[in-house]
C-alpha cells in the first residue's frame, strides 16, 4: 500500500485560509507503479505495457492505492501532477505487509534530473 499526500490544503498561506476543495493549494495528482527490467534503475519513459497500477487523478490531500507486487522484480513508484511543467510538494509513504529486512527500497533519480 502507498499514499501520496500533498502538503497544501488546510494550512494557511501568508495568513490566508482557503475553503474546500482547496483549489488554490492542492493540485490534481496521481501515482503510478511500473515494473522495470532488472538491469534498469529508473523508468526511462512512460510504457503502458509495464504499468502495474495507477490511482485515479484527483484533487485531494491524499491519494492512495494498494497493489500486490511479485518478489524478485523491480518496481518504481511515480507520483505525477495532471498538468505538465508544474511542481508540487508531497510526501510518499509506502507500507509493506512484509518484514523490512526482506524489502530493498531506495530513492532514485532520472539522470537528467537536476
**Domains in the chain: boundaries:** 2-10+21-102
Contact 105, 50 (CB under 8 A): no
Q: Express each pLDDT in 56-65 by its tens digit.
A: 998 888 889 9
pLDDT for res 49? 93
2 or 113, which is more confident: 2
Q: Kindly state the percentage of the chain with pLDDT values over 90.
A: 26
DSSP letters for 11-80: S-BTTB---TT-TTT---EEEEEEEE-TT-SS--S--GGGEEEEPPPB-SSEEEE-----TT-EEEEEEE
pLDDT tens by residue, 78-90: 988 888 888 778 8
- 55 neighbors 84 (Cβ within 8 angstroms): no
- For residue 71, pLDDT over 70 is answered with yes
Band the pLDDT of 114: cuts 50, 70, 90. Answer: low
Strand order of the sheet with strand 29-36? 51-54, 29-36, 74-81
- Residue 14: pLDDT band (50, 70, 90) is confident
Q: Confirm if 61 and 26 have CB atoms less than 8 A apart.
A: yes
20-45 confidence digits (pLDDT tens): 777 777 888 999 999 999 888 888 88
The mean of the pLDDT values for the chain is: 85
Amino acid at each position: 500500500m502507498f499514499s501520496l499526500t500533498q502538503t497544501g490544503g488546510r494550512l494557511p498561506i501568508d495568513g490566508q485560509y482557503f475553503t474546500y476543495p482547496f483549489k488554490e493549494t492542492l493540485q490534481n495528482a496521481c501515482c503510478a507503479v511500473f515494473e522495470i527490467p532488472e538491469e534498469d534503475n529508473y523508468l526511462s519513459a512512460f510504457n503502458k505495457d509495464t504499468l502495474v497500477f495507477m490511482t485515479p487523478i484527483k484533487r485531494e490531500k491524499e491519494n492512495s492505492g494498494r497493489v500486490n507486487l511479485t518478489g524478485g522484480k523491480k518496481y518504481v513508484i511515480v507520483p505525477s501532477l495532471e498538468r505538465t511543467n508544474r511542481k508540487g510538494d508531497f510526501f510518499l509513504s509506502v507500507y509493506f505487509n512484509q518484514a523490512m529486512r526482506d524489502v530493498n527500497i531506495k530513492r532514485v533519480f532520472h539522470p537528467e534530473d537536476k
